[in-house]
Structure 1
């Protein structure tokens, strides 16, 4: 939709890729984001806390349905994701840097 990109970027997103996804646009967006690592805020930063209060980083509805509402299993799955995601994201950035698009696609799909 018109204006979505501007609203998303103004809200603090690193980049924006519209659907339907085009491989070249996705790769370019990932390369831009991976080339500029985020500046980490200090713990307790009001900016970070305010963002967490207003934006849900992911919709857990589908996961909740998959596990039949079992919050313990959901927590275990999310813990595993949070443990493994940084390694996968780093590997994705490396694959993009090397131009290994098949590996980048596999890693992005895994995430």
Structure 2
């Protein structure tokens, strides 16, 4: 997940598109290889980091951490740390993150139809 330099043309173009097109803004929030997958798993309820990692064996710990931090910064995911030994951390969708669930269901239906169409 490389960061775009604020001085680059790419950054400027992204800022303009984000401001002018709400669909692009939304797509940038949930874009990326793992964000939608994380949302799909969290749609079923709270999960610990290790549970998410087990469900997505091809993601590295670092990449999962980076995505969860970005999703938390974008207020899609809530991170709760419990004062226990050993420490327990759970992730869940926020209210605004929960609003993605019907959209994810629609994407799933569209993806299924698209696969059938091109086969």
- TM-score, with length taken from structure 1: 0.25
* Higher share of residues assigned strand: 2
Q: Which has the higher contact order (CA 8 A, sep 6+)?
A: 2
Q: Whose helix proportion is higher, 1 or 2? A: 1
